[in-house]
Amino acid sequence: MSNHPAIDGLTDRMAASWQARAVLMAMPLFVGRCARARCVAPDVARLRVRSHWLSLPGAGLAALCNPRSRRVRDGGLDGLWTLPSSRPGPIANAILYLHGGGYYFGSSATHRAVTTALAAHSGAPVFAPDYRLAPEHPFPAALNDALHAYRTLIARGIAANSIVVAGDSAGGGLALALLVALRDAGDALPAGAVMFSPWADLTTTWRAARGAGPTTRIAMQRAAQMYIGDASAWDPYVSPARGDLHDLPPIHLQISDAEAMYEDALALAARLNRVGVTVQVAQWHAMPHALPCFAPFLPEANQALRQAAMFVRRCYATRKREAATAAAMA
């Protein structure tokens, strides 16, 4: 149980693995170097080259672990489908995964290791779209692409209640914005959502990370400025944690007490709880930001993905029972 009021969840306070301790020690050095090098300044060419090179280790490892993935271009949007190794026949359900990277960085390739692991643990195919990035494409480009990806899955015959939306960091915030936008537009909502260390509030002046975490105040502020563009940080689709959260599907949220977004994530969970949204919070002690993205290297990351996959399977089972009950009563 969480010690945060009104939040029902899971708390893991066991001693960190040596791998996690090594990451936590190394991360401040990496973040400081990036901040000094102005890696989040709008030097677009450098950002895109860096993103390509950082995608290679995860993509290569994922290809070895599970070669059943394919790159697609559908309706003008690139993306990567990753299939569980045991998956036969047509796709009946899916996870729509929105990668993190501060809205200016990352791709389906940089996150291929985590989408491969999520597909394996959940038994569901995962589609990771390459949504447009800032600074070339500020808000609302990423949200529009996420909406397009979701609606494309439905147009291809996957029912809304057979889709779970997921994302890490900025992708977790984008997942929440997607839920709000779908609700406001009157679209059928997905079965649930999984958010790893979501960055869902761009209005705050962020506190320094306790111990470690791949976020710093200056880096987050620069990333926010690039993404927001001419919009307002208080726009409910930019900072969905500050908007109307009624009538959203069940949400599984994971966060570490060692990262800058910890308090914001707990505040988000409390707001969801107050308006009647089912929310499960998995709190990790002394783990890096977006923990599942360190799979398969950190044992805790693998455990985090198993927890998320269990939630995904429950969402599918619940919606399937609800659909069967509704059909029987019709």
Q: Residue 17 catalytic?
A: no
Residue with tokens 């300044």: 41
Total Cβ atoms within 10 A of residue 247: 12
Per-position DSSP letters for 150-210, written without gaps between them: HHHHHHTT--GGGEEEEEETHHHHHHHHHHHHHHHHTPPPPSEEEEES-----SS-PPPPS
Structure tokens at 100: 């993190």
Structure tokens at 50: 């860096």
Is 246 in contact with 275 (CB distance < 8 Å)? Answer: yes
Residue 282, classed as helix, strand or coil, is strand
Of 222, 203, 298, 252, the C-alpha closest to 43 is 222
> Residue 296: is the preceding peptide bond cis (ω within 30°)?
yes
- CA distances for 35 relative to 97, 122, 145, 253, angstroms: 28, 36, 29, 28
- Catalytic site residue from 69, 108, 162, 169: 169
Is 298 in contact with 25 (CB distance < 8 Å)? Answer: no
37: Cβ–Cβ under 8 A, 6 or more apart, which residues? none
> Residue 90: is the preceding peptide bond cis (ω within 30°)?
no
Burial 188-203, CB ≥16 within 10 A → b, else e: ebbbbbbbbbbbbbbe
Query: If you compute the radius of gyration of the chain from its CA atoms, what whole number of angstroms results?
Result: 18
Per-position DSSP letters for 99-120, written without gaps between them: --STTTS--TTTTHHHHHHHHH
Is 94 in contact with 192 (CB distance < 8 Å)? Answer: no
Active centre residues (catalytic): 169
